[in-house]
Amino acid sequence: MNTLKLTTEAKDIETAAQIIARGGLVAFPTETVYGLGANALDEQAVAAVYEAKGRPSDNPMIVHIARASDIGQLTPMLSPDIVAIIENFWPGPLTIVVKKKPSVPDRTTGGLDTVAVRMPDAKPALDLINRAGVPIAAPSANLSGSPSPTRAKDVIADLDGRIDAIIQGEDCRVGIESTVLDLTSKEPTILRPGIITAESIEAALGKPVKYDPSLKEAAQHVQLDPAAGVAEADFQPKSPGMKYRHYAPKADMLVVEGQRDRVKEEIERLRVLNERLGNQVGVILFEEKAFIEAAHDFFSRLRDLDREGVDLILAGALSDTDGVGFAVMNRMLKSAGYNIVRV
Ligand code: AMP
Ligand code: MG
How does residue 55 score in pLDDT terms, banded at 50, 70 and 90?
confident
Q: Quick check: 37 and 64 in contact, CB under 8 A?
A: yes
What pLDDT, on a 0 to 100 scale, did the predictor assign at position 216?
77
Q: Answer yes or no: is the C-beta of 45 below 6 A from any ligand 1 atom.
A: no
82: how many CB neighbours lie within 10 A of its CB?
18
Query: Per-residue confidence at 124, pLDDT binned at 50, 70, 90?
Result: very high
| 222 within domain boundaries | no
The CB of 144 under 6 Å from ligand 1? The reply is no
Residue 157, phi then psi, degrees to nearest 5: -60, -35
Q: How far apart are CA 149 and CA 147, in angstroms?
A: 6
**Span from the CA of 59 to the centroid of ligand 1 (angstroms):** 6
57 lines ligand 1 (CB under 6 A): no
- Cα-to-centroid distance, 147 and ligand 2 (Å): 8
**pLDDT at site 217:** 72
Say whether both 182 and 251 belong to one domain: no
Residue nearest to atom 11 of ligand 1 (CA): 241
Mean of pLDDT values over 59-83: 97
Q: Do residue 251 and residue 151 come from a single domain?
A: no
Q: Residue 242: its pLDDT value, please? A: 54
Q: Residue of the nearest CA to atom 10 in ligand 1?
A: 241
Kind of pairing between the strands at 165-167 and 281-284: unpaired
Q: Average pLDDT of 189-200?
A: 97
Rounded to the nearest whole angstrom, what is the distance from the C-alpha of residue 53 to the centroid of ligand 2?
9
Clarify whether residues 87 and 156 are in a common domain: yes
Residue 41 and residue 164 in one domain = yes
Convert the pLDDT of each residue in 219-271 to its tens digit: 664 443 444 443 333 444 565 555 555 899 999 999 999 999 999 999 999 99
> Could you tell me the CATH number of the domain that includes residue 265?
3.40.50.11030
Domain boundary among 161, 186, 211: 186
Q: 215 in a domain, yes or no?
A: no
**Percent of the chain residues topping a pLDDT of 90:** 86
Strand 179-182 to 189-192 pairing:
antiparallel
Q: What is the mean pLDDT of residues 85-94?
A: 98
- Kindly give the distance from the C-alpha atom of residue 109 to the centroid of ligand 1, in angstroms, as a whole number: 8
Q: How many CB atoms within 10 Å of residue 62? A: 26
Whether residue 191 has its Cβ less than 6 Å from ligand 1: yes
Alpha helices (H) in the chain, listed in sequence order: 10-21, 43-53, 80-89, 106-109, 123-132, 152-159, 198-205, 213-221, 260-276, 291-308, 324-335
Query: From CA 214, how far away is CA 191, in angstroms rounded?
Result: 9
285-331 pLDDT per residue, tens: 999 999 999 999 999 999 999 999 999 999 999 998 889 999 999 99
The predicted pLDDT at position 57 comes to 82
| Ligand of minimum distance to the alpha carbon of 115 | 1
262 and 177 within one domain = no
Structural domain includes residue 134: yes
Q: How many domains would you assign to the chain?
A: 2
Tell me how far the alpha carbon of residue 134 lies from the centroid of ligand 1, in angstroms.
Answer: 19
Give the end-to-end CA distance of the chain in Å, rounded to a whole number.
49
**Average pLDDT of the segment spanning 103-130:** 97
For residue 130, pLDDT over 90 is answered with yes
- Please give the residue range of the domain that contains residue 337: 247-342
Residues 133 and 251 in one domain: no
Residue 148 Cα to ligand 2 midpoint, Å, equals 6
In a domain, 227, yes or no: no
Domain assignment present for 198: no
Nearest CA to 297 among 194, 151, 192, 152?
151
Measure 278 CA to ligand 2 centroid, in angstroms.
33
Task: Identify which ligand lies nearest to the alpha carbon of 32.
Answer: 1
Same domain, 103 and 26: yes
Residue 102 has pLDDT above 90, yes or no: yes
Cβ(242) – ligand 1 distance below 6 Å: yes
- Bridge-partner residues for 256, per DSSP? 316, 341
Residue 228, in any domain of the structure: no
Say yes or no: 161 and 22 in one domain.
yes
**Listed residues 160, 186, 212: the one ending a domain:** 186
Together in a domain, 57 and 166 = yes
Check: CB of residue 48 under 8 Å from CB of residue 57.
no
Strand pairing category for 189-192 and 210-211: parallel
Which atom of ligand 1 is nearest to 32's Cα?
4
Residue 231: predicted pLDDT: 38
Residue 117 CB partners (closer than 8 Å, separation 6+): 62, 63, 64, 65, 71, 74, 75, 95, 96, 97, 98, 135
* End position of a domain, from candidates 140, 167, 186: 186
Residue 98: Cβ-neighbour burial (10 angstroms; 0-12, 13-18, 19+): buried
Q: Give the 3-state secondary structure of 50-94.
A: HHHHCCCCCCCCEEECCCHHHHHHCCCCCCHHHHHHHHHHCCCCE
CATH classification at residue 158? 3.90.870.10
CB 96 within 8 A of CB 51: no
Mean pLDDT of 1-20: 97
Decide whether any atom of ligand 1 lies within 6 Å of the 180 Cβ.
yes
* Residues 22 and 109 occupy one common structural domain: yes
Q: 300 and 179 in one domain?
A: no
Q: Is residue 200 part of a domain?
A: no
Same domain, 123 and 32: yes
pLDDT at residue 239 in the model: 59
Contact (Cβ atoms closer than 8 angstroms) between residue 244 and residue 334: no
Within a domain: 206: no
- How does the average pLDDT of the chain come out, rounded? 92
Task: Tell me the residue type at 130.
Answer: N
